[in-house]
Amino acid sequence: MSGYGQSEYGLDSYGTVVLESPRIISMESVDGLSIRIDFNMTMLDNSDLSNPDNYVFAPIFGAPVTVDSVDVDSDFNSVVLNHSGTTLGG
């Protein structure tokens, strides 16, 4: 059943659905080559979540860091990024 303007009925203006975007709630270095990212909600189980090309490290110092692979936890609330390693200096 649709509300005004073909949107689903909800609690927002004109019956539209309120959508919340996922946010990162914590990050931690697992070891020198892995970083765990926890999200505030369950993520969709699709190829976007596990695609290494969707994750980028901002270069600050040293050699560029690339994400080699992504391990998705079974609860889809967190991922572990396996990366090429970081170095300081140059």
* pLDDT higher at 8 or 74: 74
Mean pLDDT of 14-42: 86
pLDDT at 90 over 50: no
CA distance 14 to 58: 40
- Sign of the four-CA dihedral 68, 73, 74, 76: negative
Q: Which residue type sits at 84?
A: S
Q: What is the pLDDT of residue 86?
A: 77
47-64, pLDDT tens digit by residue?
999 999 999 988 777 778
Considering the chain, what percentage of its residues have pLDDT values greater than 70?
A: 77
What is the DSSP track for 12-80? SGGGPPP-----EEEEEEEETTEEEEEESSPPP-SHHHH-GGG--PPP-SSS---EEEEEEPTTSSEEE
Lowest model confidence (mean pLDDT) among 10-19, 23-32, 53-62, 76-85: 10-19
